Amino acid sequence: MSEILNVQGLSAGYGPLRVIHDLDLIVSSGERVGLVGLNGHGKTTLFYGIAGLTGWQRGSILFNGNQIGRTRSQGPGRYTHHIVRQGLAIMPQGDEIFHGLTVEEHLDSGAFTKQAWKTRKQRKEQVLDLFEPLKQLLKTPVARLSGGERRMVSIGRGLMTDAKLYLADEPSLGLAPKIGKGVMEALLKIELSNSAMIIAEQNVALLEGKVDRVIGMHAGKLKGEASSALSMHLK
Amino acid sequence: MDIGFILINATIVACIYGLIAVAVSITWSSLGLLNLSYGFIFSFAGYGAYLAARMLSDHPIVVLTAGILVGALGGIIICMLVFIPLHDKPNFTIRGMIGTLAISLIGSQCLLWYFGPKNKALPEVFGYWKVSIGNTVLTSDKIGIIVCSILMLVFVVLWMKSSRRGLEIRAMMMNPHAASIVGIGIRKTGFYVMAITGGMAGLSAVLLSQTYYIAPFSGLTPLIKGVSIALCGGLGSVQGAVIAAIILGITEALTSRLLGGQYVLITQFLVIITILIIRPRGIAGLLDKAREQ
């Protein structure tokens, strides 16, 4: 079990706003971690902090042994593509999609890193096996899809790379319970041999018994870790 | 005779200014930069083609290629001087506009200082033959201008539709934030965008120099027309820019035929203002908020 992500003393925010306070987190390979917390308590900011998309940040982030956290006085997103190329896949919350691209082009754009681009055909098939309904929609612009289908596209896009760390931000948000469950199941089906996954979620019930451990997040800090069996009491 | 003549002139104007308008549109939507330096790139590419014609050979392909390549080089220079240092600073839109305009003026002055105020003429790239269709006579340069600019436009659109770089640029156009999430580097994409749009401006410079001379400030009118056509078509939309170029080309040809050449700018801007009053986001402007930061 090697460490994939080691966050030490991370603070991050936007402008004068400090969202994450001195946060420590270690994720090892093969682990599937649930991150539970209410809206506005910093789940998304933690993910964006790891990806270098926050306005500023302080602290150390070791990803695969490489330091990717640094004091960013420059604008957000400056180094994000370098971090993504090191093997980070982000499945963002909300509508972070390209409205005019078709589903197929979307999946291609997920395999944008050089290594993944060469094998994108096989990857596409794997993703389509996971999300059956997308098969008929390959040539449709994403703007015309329903919410659930869009979420499948954005998660599928994240799965197109050979990532070491998958960050799934509220995959079931805003979806009908049944579809949300389907999306979650697809995420849980992904094999993590030497990679890891963090799933942020407000609904503990969806994660119960399915992830290796559950971490609560409150006011920019991690509160209490619990193994999966204990997560029932967290509710 | 009249209708054919007007149509041909309209098409030529639409082709040349359309190239610049599409370039302005692509830069704006993918980089968020309203590039006002096409005036400089335009004259820069014109002089590049002129030097190539004098020093290398005046073979048409050499002249056209030199124009495109020097235009692309001009785009890369602008990218290094304006886009790279400014793109992550606050108020980038305004600063980028001022920066590119300043470089356009400085660059044109440098060209004036180096080459002198005397106009330069490019060799006739397309020869001297002509074709008649019905009553309309088509000269070689007119056919050449139309064919070349349509080829360039088709090439750019196909390249953006099919290649990995094109996917990268289109992704940036639609959602810059999500683009960085999938691993697209803003700075590197900036170079590709500026090079290809600079190449388009360079080609239009060579094409326009078949009718006009090359001078240090000859890029000013194409810049103004290109930007206003891009605005009229809706910034960020390639189809919109093409439609607006056709409308304004017809306006220009009709005006110079019916009223006289001196009224062209007046009628053109009247048409642009009317279109923007009726449809403030332009003919095919994007409604999504990706670029409104």
pTM: 0.81
Confidence of residue B197 (pLDDT cuts 50, 70, 90): very high
pLDDT given at position A234: 46
Mutate to test the interface with A, among B173, B180, B291 (most CBs of A within 10 A): B180
Q: Is the pLDDT of residue A27 over 70?
A: yes
**Are the CB atoms for B36 and B19 separated by under 8 Å?**
no
- Distance, in Å, from the CA atom of A39 to the CA atom of A127, rounded to the nearest integer, reads 29
**pLDDT > 70: what percent of chain B?**
97
| Number of Cα atoms under 13 Å in the Cβ half of residue B134 | 6
Decide: A180 and A58 in contact? Cβ < 8 Å.
no
- CB of B269 within 8 A of CB of B228? yes
pLDDT at B288 over 60: no
Of A111-115, A153-157, A187-191, A202-206, the least confident:
A111-115
**Per-residue pLDDT tens over the stretch B33-72:** 888 998 899 999 999 999 998 888 878 888 889 999 999 9
Specify whether the backbone of A120 is left (phi greater than 0), alpha (psi in -120 to 50) or beta.
alpha
Predicted confidence band of residue B170 (pLDDT cuts 50, 70, 90): confident
For residue A29, the distance in angstroms to the closest alpha carbon of chain B comes to 22
pLDDT at B130: 79
Torsions phi, psi of B255, nearest 5? -60, -45
Asked if A103 contacts B173 with a C-beta cutoff of 8 angstroms, the reply is no
Q: How many CB atoms lie within 10 A of CB A227?
A: 10
Nearest neighbour of A109 by CB, restricted to B88, B171, B186: B171
For residue range A141-173, what is the model confidence (pLDDT) as tens digits?
A: 887 877 777 888 888 888 887 788 888 888 877
Residue B120, pLDDT above cutoff 90: no
Whether residues B168 and A113 touch (CB distance < 8 A) is answered with no
> CB neighbours (10 Å) of residue A185?
12
Q: How far is CA B155 from CA B19, B72, B164, in A?
A: 12, 15, 15
Q: Is the pLDDT of residue A74 over 60?
A: no
Q: How confident is the model at residue A71 (pLDDT cuts 50, 70, 90)?
A: low
Please name the member of B171, B183, B186 whose beta carbon is closest to the beta carbon of A84. Answer: B183
The span from the CA of A196 to the CA of A194, in Å, is: 7
Segment B82-109 shows an average pLDDT of 87
Mean pLDDT of the B15-32 span: 87
Pair of tokens at residue B242:
């093409």
B235-251 per-position pLDDT tens digit: 778 888 889 999 998 88
Rounded mean pLDDT of chain B? 85
- Stretch B168-189: mean pLDDT, rounded? 82
Written as six digits, the tokens of B91 are 């108020």
Judged by CB atoms closer than 8 Å, whether chains meet at B183 and A96 is answered as: no
Chain A residues whose CB is inside 8 A of the B182 CB are 84, 109-110, 112, 157
- Cβ-based neighbour number of residue B169 at 10 Å: 23
Among A81-85, B31-35, B287-291, name the most confident range.
Answer: B31-35
B147: contact with A, CB 8 A cutoff: no
Task: Give the whole-number percent of chain B exceeding pLDDT 90.
Answer: 21
Cβ proximity of B19 and B152 under 8 Å = yes
Predicted local confidence at residue B133, as pLDDT: 75
Q: Which of B175, B182, B186 sits opposite A84 (nearest CB)?
A: B182
pLDDT computed for residue A225 by the predictor: 61
**Alpha carbon distance B125, B276 (integer Å):** 38
* Integer Cα distance of B189 and B75 in angstroms: 13
Q: Over 50: is that where the pLDDT of B13 sits?
A: yes
Q: What pLDDT is recorded for position A229?
A: 44
Arithmetic mean of pLDDT, B132-158 = 85
Read off the pLDDT of each residue in A90-112 and give the average, rounded to a whole number.
79
Give the nearest partner residue to B183 out of A53, A78, A112, using CB atoms.
A112
Query: Is a pLDDT exceeding 70 seen at residue A230?
Result: no
Rg of chain A over Cα atoms, rounded to whole angstroms, equals 17
Residue keyed to tokens 């948000």: A173
For residue B198, what pLDDT is reported?
Answer: 93
Instruction: For residue B162, give every residue at least 6 positions away whose Cβ sits within 8 Å of its Cβ, in sequence order, or none.
Output: none
Q: What is the pLDDT of residues A107-140, one digit of tens each?
A: 888 777 777 777 777 788 877 877 777 788 888 8
Q: At what angle do helices B38-55 and B92-115 cross, to 10 degrees?
A: 30
DSSP symbol at A136: G
pLDDT band at A233 (very low <50, low <70, confident <90, very high): very low
Question: Does B181 contact A96 at a Cβ distance shorter than 8 Å?
Answer: yes
Which of residues B127 and A198 earns the better pLDDT score? A198
Comparing CA positions, the residue from B92, B98, B44 lying closest to residue B72 is B44
Look over chain A and give the mean of its residue pLDDT values, rounded to a whole number: 77
Q: What is the pLDDT of residues A39-59, one digit of tens each?
A: 777 888 888 888 877 777 887
Interface contact B168, partner A, CB < 8 A: yes
Q: How confident is the model at residue B291 (pLDDT cuts 50, 70, 90)?
A: very low
Report the interhelical angle of B140-162 vs B2-31 (nearest 10°).
Answer: 30
The ipTM, to two decimals, is 0.76
| Residue B100 Cα distances to A127, B29, B103, B195, angstroms | 44, 16, 5, 15
Residue type, position B250, single letter: I
Strand order in the sheet with A221-227: A88-91, A165-169, A196-201, A32-36, A213-218, A221-227
How does residue B100 score in pLDDT terms, banded at 50, 70 and 90? very high
The answer to whether A170 and A194 have CB atoms below 8 angstroms apart is no
